[in-house]
Chain A
Amino acid sequence: MRRDTRLAYPYVVWMVIFIAVPLLIVAYFAFTNKAGQFTLENLRQIGEYAPVFLRSLLLAARATVICLVLAFPAAWWLSRLRVRHQRIMLMLVMLPMWMNFLLRTYAWMTLLENNGLLNRLFGAMHLFDLVNGINGLLGASLPTNITYFPMINTAGAVVLGMVYNYLPYMILPLYTIMVKIEPSEIEAAQDLGANTRQILTRVLIPLSMPGISTGITMVFVPSVSTFIISRMLGGGGNMLVGDLIELQFLGNSYNYNLGSAMSLVLMVIVLLCMGVTNTSGGEDGIEGVV
């Protein structure tokens, strides 16, 4: 046993140099001003950006919930397929991940734009004429000259981008846990009188809990700190913490002390959120992929 710990040394060195030390540097900047003196001014200033933090958490939470709702039945269905079919379907789930992240998000831009593919498709289907007509019938206050649906540069587009990009990270951990559930465990619940809803709430969800909490972590964390998705799909009105932090380091407001403080606060918030999901999921002590 003693000797095995040596195998971890390379990673420990890596971790110290590239994770622990940078974290300490971030913390140092967060609590100092440009002159290098200790200050709490940066943290105080973050209060002004509370709406951005709130929006980030809200949109990430929305995306996480949508991912969970979409992924849970999909993962269950996957886990019940024959092994050979499971492999093919899993590959299809992961396929979008092989494509460049930027490219995928650009694709959504061209789809969602005001004169983008979707709106042109709706126009060809005379959908706008139909909506205008109905609005005309319903009352004077409703617009009757719509020529497109506003989709790009909305909060909805940001959530869509998050769901699209991070859905596989919800499906995979759920699937990993669900494959281990024996069909006879579900049959036993049925046998003891559980209907479909009761099977879900009393057996399937509790047994999938480790996968659910891993999936939430893996979707929520990147969603809450993303800046590409909000920049490309959200326009100026849907700035997230990620964008804000980027601005402090690479943007006009160049203030890496404030940027560090924001990163630190975001990290604490994320850790708190994860603490909540992990204690609620792990109370039965089932060993999962977490």
Chain B
Amino acid sequence: MEHPIVVSLQDIMVDFDGEPVLTGLSLDIHDKEFVTFLGPSGCGKTTTLRVIGGFVQPKSGRVLFDGQDITNLPPYKRHVNTVFQKYALFPHLNVFENVAFGLRLKSRDEKAIRSQVLQMLETVGLKGFERRRVTTLSGGQQQRVAIARGLVNRPRVLLLDEPLGALDLKLRKEMQLELKRLQQALEITFIYVTHDQEEALTMSDTVVVMNEGHIQQIGSPEDIYNEPTNAFVADFIGESNILNGVMHRDFLVEFAGRSFTCVDKGFAPNQLVQVVVRPEDIQVVPAIQGQLTGVVRDVIFKGVHFEMHVEQGDFEWIIHSTRASQPGEMIGMCIGPDEIHIMPREE
């Protein structure tokens, strides 16, 4: 389902007080997709969003919308709406007037405005809240008003800047699903910024992992999780065991002091690589049956699983297992060929 490109960033450079934030970022965003910019704070994800919204003027580079250059277009002329991090609702207006704000700027048709606002409020589950003052709403309700205020204008693209950051965990999970449902029902492109990798994996069609002003990897949540292109992505998306290794030949890699069969090929003979193994992909077996053996340092109960730190040589493995071993116990570890992910080593 390859949709046409709606937003295209071309070689965007942004400085704040001479400090480079984005250094030549290029990215295409397809129509009707749920795209997430994921990265640690300060990685440039919010800045990228603000470039699309028109709130940050790039030092160089171009922003295309439907193939048209909008780099110098002010925010109020763009077919894009934003849900701001702290909602930025208008405290002097009630819920209805907040949502109607954008419509009123364009039209005087009171009847049409009324029906569109009421319908949008119903869509986000705020029917009956029209006359409420926004300052009397809970965080989740304010969030919904902010989303309705953007969506009621039927933008081609909705930008969301960590909109769920201020909500508690349970509400956040509910809103994640609801946002996804809204995006699919309205067929609007969502560009979502978050530092929460789980949130990114739950909602997105495409995840853009960013660090230090650069795109690290673009792909589906599965791709990003299963085939990280470098150690940063592997480490940022879920927990990982990342080890240095040597690719002896196709399908054979050495790390942690022994050789393993793997499914990767196409590396130069004896190329230095990094190996990623997810904590849940390691099987715990009796010591004598293990490909590797290690001593359990500690065991932490995490709800669905136990997290164990296991010392093997000079490396400490993280293992997620539904059965707990005892601290100090010697255990065996098995890693299947499918569970070994190989990346070229960066230097």
Q: Which residues of A contact B (CB under 8 A)?
A: 182, 184-185, 187-195, 198, 202-203, 206-207, 209, 284-286
Chain A residues within 8 Å of B91, by CB: 185, 207, 286
- CB contact list, B148-173 vs A, under 8 A: 149-150, 153
Chain B residues within 8 Å of A192, by CB: 76, 81, 101-102, 105, 149-150, 153
Contact B88 A286 (CB under 8 A): no
Q: Roughly how many angstroms separate A71 CA and B62 CA in the complex, as a whole number?
A: 39
Chain A residues within 8 Å of B76, by CB: 190-195
Chain A residues within 8 Å of B85, by CB: 184
Contact A193 B102 (CB under 8 A): yes
Given A193-B106, A193-B153, A194-B105: A185 in contact with B90 (beta carbons within 8 A) = yes
CB-nearest residue of chain B to A191: B82
The 10 closest A-B pairs by CB, nearest first: A192-B102, A184-B88, A188-B88, A190-B75, A206-B92, A191-B82, A193-B105, A184-B84, A284-B92, A193-B76
Contact A191 B86 (CB under 8 A): no
State which size class the interface on B falls in.
20 to 34
Chain B residues within 8 Å of A209, by CB: 92
Q: Roughly how many angstroms separate A195 CA and B102 CA in the complex, as a whole number?
A: 11
Q: Roughly how many angstroms separate A202 CA and B55 CA in the complex, as a whole number?
A: 20
Shortest beta-carbon distance from A82 to chain B in Å = 11
Given A193-B153, A202-B101, A286-B91: A188 in contact with B82 (beta carbons within 8 A) = yes
Chain A residues within 8 Å of B75, by CB: 187, 190-191
Q: Roughly how many angstroms separate A203 CA and B106 CA in the complex, as a whole number?
A: 16
Given A192-B149, A193-B153, A195-B76: A187 in contact with B88 (beta carbons within 8 A) = yes
- CB contact list, B189-224 vs A, under 8 A: none
Q: Roughly how many angstroms separate A188 CA and B98 CA in the complex, as a whole number?
A: 10
Chain A residues within 8 Å of B102, by CB: 192-193
Q: Roughly how many angstroms separate A13 CA and B85 CA in the complex, as a whole number?
A: 50
Contact A187 B106 (CB under 8 A): no
Extra contacts besides A185-B90, A188-B149 (18): CB < 8 Å: A182-B86, A187-B53, A189-B90, A190-B54, A191-B53, A191-B75, A191-B81, A192-B101, A193-B76, A193-B102, A194-B76, A194-B105, A195-B76, A203-B92, A206-B92, A207-B91, A209-B92, A284-B92
Shortest beta-carbon distance from A202 to chain B in Å = 7
- CB contact list, B46-89 vs A, under 8 A: 53-55, 74-76, 80-82, 84-86, 88-89
Chain B residues within 8 Å of A191, by CB: 53, 55, 75-76, 80-82, 150
Shortest beta-carbon distance from A206 to chain B in Å = 5
Q: Roughly how many angstroms separate A194 CA and B104 CA in the complex, as a whole number?
A: 10
Q: Roughly how many angstroms separate A185 CA and B105 CA in the complex, as a whole number?
A: 16
Cβ-neighbour of A286 out of B89, B92, B101, B150 (below 8 A)? B92
Q: Roughly how many angstroms separate A101 CA and B185 CA in the complex, as a whole number?
A: 67
Chain B residues within 8 Å of A207, by CB: 90-92
Cβ-neighbour of B82 out of A185, A187, A202, A206 (below 8 A)? A187
Shortest beta-carbon distance from B40 to chain A in Å = 22
Shortest beta-carbon distance from B99 to chain A in Å = 10
Q: Roughly how many angstroms separate A90 CA and B21 CA in the complex, as a whole number?
A: 32
Shortest beta-carbon distance from B182 to chain A in Å = 18
> What are 27 inter-chain pairs, A to B, with CB distance below 8 A?
A182-B88, A184-B84, A184-B85, A184-B88, A187-B53, A187-B84, A188-B88, A188-B89, A188-B149, A189-B90, A190-B75, A190-B76, A191-B55, A191-B75, A191-B81, A191-B150, A192-B150, A192-B153, A193-B102, A193-B105, A195-B74, A195-B76, A202-B101, A207-B91, A209-B92, A285-B133, A286-B92
User: Among B54, B76, B82, B149, which residue has the most Cβ atoms of chain A within 10 A?
Assistant: B76
When each residue 133-154 of chain B gets 1 if its CB lies under 8 Å from chain A and 0 otherwise, what string results? 1000000000000000110010
Chain A residues within 8 Å of B82, by CB: 187-188, 191
Chain B residues within 8 Å of A285, by CB: 133
CB-nearest residue of chain A to B105: A193
Contact B55 A188 (CB under 8 A): no
Contact A198 B86 (CB under 8 A): no
User: Among B53, B101, B149, B153, which residue has the most Cβ atoms of chain A within 10 A?
Assistant: B101
Chain A residues within 8 Å of B92, by CB: 203, 206-207, 209, 284, 286
Q: Roughly how many angstroms separate A9 CA and B92 CA in the complex, as a whole number?
A: 36
Chain B residues within 8 Å of A284, by CB: 92
Q: Roughly how many angstroms separate A182 CA and B87 CA in the complex, as a whole number?
A: 11
CB-nearest residue of chain B to A195: B76
Chain B residues within 8 Å of A195, by CB: 74, 76
Shortest beta-carbon distance from B23 to chain A in Å = 24
Q: Roughly how many angstroms separate A194 CA and B105 CA in the complex, as a whole number?
A: 7
Shortest beta-carbon distance from A49 to chain B in Å = 42
Chain A residues within 8 Å of B90, by CB: 185, 188-189, 203, 207
Q: Roughly how many angstroms separate A259 CA and B220 CA in the complex, as a whole number?
A: 84
Chain A residues within 8 Å of B106, by CB: 193
Q: Roughly how many angstroms separate A286 CA and B150 CA in the complex, as a whole number?
A: 24
Shortest beta-carbon distance from A179 to chain B in Å = 14
Shortest beta-carbon distance from B51 to chain A in Å = 13
Chain A residues within 8 Å of B133, by CB: 285
Chain A residues within 8 Å of B55, by CB: 187, 190-191
CB-nearest residue of chain B to A185: B88
Contact A198 B88 (CB under 8 A): no
Cβ-neighbour of B84 out of A188, A198, A203 (below 8 A)? A188
